[in-house]
Structure 1
Amino acid sequence: MNENISAEENAAELLITRSVNAPRELVFKVCTEPEHLSRWWGPKGFDMHVSKLELRPGGVFHYSQRSPEGQVMWGKFVYREITAPERLLFTSAFSDEEGNTVRAPFSATWPLEILNDWQFFESDGKTTMTMRGTPVSPTDDELATFKNAKSMLQQGFAGTFQQLENYLFELTEGSR
């Protein structure tokens, strides 16, 4: 994924592949535009608010998510590479309301940043998304925490991507 990532970090890589019944251009659009992201990104039942989205290298997607119990968490992506509609390369992190990177609220040893490489492939009108996530310059404890959380992350992203699939169905079937 990246020549600056060690073999051990690469072994910690989270890999998720999901196919959706929608064209690649639409899938890329709903992954990069605030009015769409606010409809599906994040855990089920959470309210999503997009504070800022600058889709360009060096640009930031800054957002908050409110749990059903009222807890608010902030996060951000910093885009490194955008090749529409094929690829998004960005770091993700927890943040405060001002956009400063902060520790995850649930773990003192969660990696500060994750490098994400999302790729989009189309075949017969369906899109396969491949998402790879790897901690950026983690400590040994951060790397261990990330490795131990992989199954939890896969379950969480399965729910998020189910929301994406449902939203894409609304967009494509709702227009017929």
Structure 2
Amino acid sequence: MKTATADTEFVITRLFKAPLSRVWEHWTSAERMSQWFGPKGVTTTVKTLDLRPGGIMHARMDQPGGGRMWVKFAYREVVEPSRLVWEHSFADEQANIVQSPFGGSWPLRILSTVTFAEEGAETRMRLVWTPLDASEDERRAFAEMLDSMTEGWGGTFDKLDEALAAG
């Protein structure tokens, strides 16, 4: 059993077969993010992408079978083309932060840091998630979901691989 501590974090790294400039574009363009962001089977529509510290990304995620949820990034840092930092939250249609649609304890905000590094013709990306201002129960729930997050982000990055290959 995994135990939660105040410094529990989720880390996933991926090597994409695309140049850094193209990977960066897929993370920073509303049109490109709509092509790949979200777990497999989910269709995402980015409604707002204001890429600057203090700006937001707000997107609707439509699930197979008709379920819908919203996500919000509140950007803290944008360092082109090497680093993005944002507060990741579930949201409502007006971009207000809301509790997880899945029920149970889950942090309202997760600090997300993505770094990009060129490796020849490829790009290594590293994503780190850390709960922000989370209660003990929320940190525990986060720690218990590490395997699920690996699966979810892995599927999301499979979709990014496909989008990058398509051009």
Shorter-chain TM band? over 0.9
Q: Secondary structure at the match of 2:75?
A: strand
Q: What is the CA distance between 1:83 and its match in structure 2? A: 0.3
The answer to whether 1:20 aligns with 2:13 is no
Give ranges in structure 1 of 5+ residues lacking alignment: 1-6, 172-176
Query: 1:37-52 residue pairs with structure 2 within 5 A?
Result: 37-52=33-48
What is the RMSD of the two structures over their aligned residues, measured on CA atoms?
A: 1.1
The answer to whether 1:121 aligns with 2:98 is no
Q: What is the CA distance between 1:9 and its match in structure 2? A: 2.6
Q: Secondary structure at the match of 1:42?
A: coil
TM-score, normalised by the number of residues in structure 2:
0.96
Q: Which amino acid letter does the alignment assign opposite residue 116 of structure 2?
A: F
Distance 1:43 1:52 in 2: 19
Q: Secondary structure at the match of 2:23?
A: helix
Q: Secondary structure at the match of 1:8?
A: coil
Higher RCO structure, 1 or 2 (CA under 8 Å, sep 6+):
2
Q: What is the CA distance between 1:15 and its match in structure 2? A: 0.3
Q: Which has the higher strand share?
A: 2
Aligned to 1:77: 73
Distance 1:118 1:9 in 2: 20
TM-score, normalised by the number of residues in structure 1:
0.91
Deviating beyond 3 angstroms after TM superposition, the runs of 4 or more aligned structure 1 residues are none
Give ranges in structure 2 of 5+ residues lacking alignment: none
Equivalenced residue count is 164
Distance 2:40 2:73 in 1: 20
